[in-house]
Amino acid sequence: MTVRQNQDQDQDQDQDRGHGDEDDLSRPPVPVPGCPACTELAIRRDDARARCNRSAETDADVLLRRHLRGDGVEDVHRQGH
């Protein structure tokens, strides 16, 4: 499965379950499709997951959450860029 497919699947599952909130720490953050930084962090997370490296996977999730909460980033993401 590609990163894009994983992103789409994660987003679909989160929307189906009502988990679109970036503040919900019980769920991994959902990368924004088309965002290069989100894609890079999603790849990093997927690689860590494939290596069963939970620490690196968590690190990527933390970085993705920080990115999503960054100054002005949320506005760009909400506009679909």
Q: pLDDT value at position 25?
A: 84
Q: pLDDT value at position 59?
A: 96
Q: pLDDT value at position 49?
A: 96
Is 63 part of a structural domain of the chain?
yes
In degrees, rounded to 5, the angle at the alpha carbon of residue 64 between the alpha carbons of residues 61 and 70 is 145
Is 17 part of a structural domain of the chain?
no
Q: pLDDT value at position 73?
A: 60
Q: pLDDT value at position 69?
A: 87
Q: Model pTM?
A: 0.63
- Intervals of the chain under pLDDT 50: 14, 16-19, 81
Into how many domains does the chain fold?
1
Instruction: Tell me which residue range forms the domain holding 77.
Output: 39-81
CB count within 10 Å of CB 52 equals 8
Is 52 part of a structural domain of the chain?
yes
Is 32 part of a structural domain of the chain?
no
Q: pLDDT value at position 17?
A: 42
